[in-house]
Amino acid sequence: MPTENDGVMVILSSPSGAGKTTLSNLLSKKNNYEISISHTTRKPRPNEVPNKDYFFVNNDEFNRLIKNGEFLEYAKVFNNYYGTTRTPVIDSLNKGKNVLFDIDWQGADQIKNKKLDYKLISFFILPPSKDILYERLTNRDMKDKIIVEERMKQFERDVLHWINYDYVVVNDDLKNCYSKIHNLINAEIFNGSKDYDPEFIRNHVEKLTN
């Protein structure tokens, strides 16, 4: 039975390349946050560590987990499956640990709709501009032009989901963005005042989508 001492769930979503993995790592390093490790059928990137960044599994194993009802949420993203298993998340929350989810809007919707008895705070991260997003994707994805183009195309669709999140933040300077998220989480947990300007966000989304 969830209690006041339970951890909170923090979802970070964004169009690919906006920086949610970088921000999740920063938040987990500096705070009492555990990153929920997802399962995926995607192949590892050269710098990724199995069982730390993801549990890399094949389609058969992923389907077995679906059939066993082990996923809190799962979704198909860019031709691969990604999912969050329930047990490690609930165990951490019950121990008072805050859990960070680096998941897409489909997973965020599923977790929201589950209406679990744990506090949930959701963030959508935006890039400063499309040009900067392109640059970051190009650097990260080893100049693989096809992947970068695919993710830039997907950006136009993903960005539309910003409206369903509690907060939207712009990842311009990494330290600033980290502080903004950190302060908003603390304000939510301790009922503090929130430094948040929805009008600025609306204008920024307009710039990104025009």
The binding site for ligand ADP (CB under 6 A) comprises: 14, 16-22, 136, 139-140, 171, 174
Rule CB under 6 A: say whether 19 interacts with ligand 5GP: no
DSSP secondary structure of the chain: ---TTS--EEEEE-STTSSHHHHHHHHHHHSSEEEPPEEESSPPPTT--BTTTEEE--HHHHHHHHHTT-EEEEEEETTEEEEEEHHHHHHHHHTT-EEEEE--HHHHHHHHHHT-SS-EEEEEEE-S-HHHHHHHHHHHTTT-HHHHHHHHHHHHHHGGGGGGSSEEEE-SSHHHHHHHHHHHHHHHHTT------HHHHHHHHHHHH-
Please report whether residue 171 would count as binding ligand 5GP according to CB under 6 A.
no
Least distance from ligand ADP to the Cβ atom of residue 13, Å:
9
| Nearest-approach distance from CB 75 to ligand 5GP, in angstroms | 4
Tell me the site size for ligand 5GP, rule CB under 6 A: 14
* 102 is a contact residue toward ligand 5GP (CB under 6 A): yes
Residue number with CB closer to ligand ADP (6 or 10): 10
Residue ranges binding ligand 5GP (CB under 6 A): 16, 38, 42, 73, 75, 77, 82-84, 102-104, 106-107
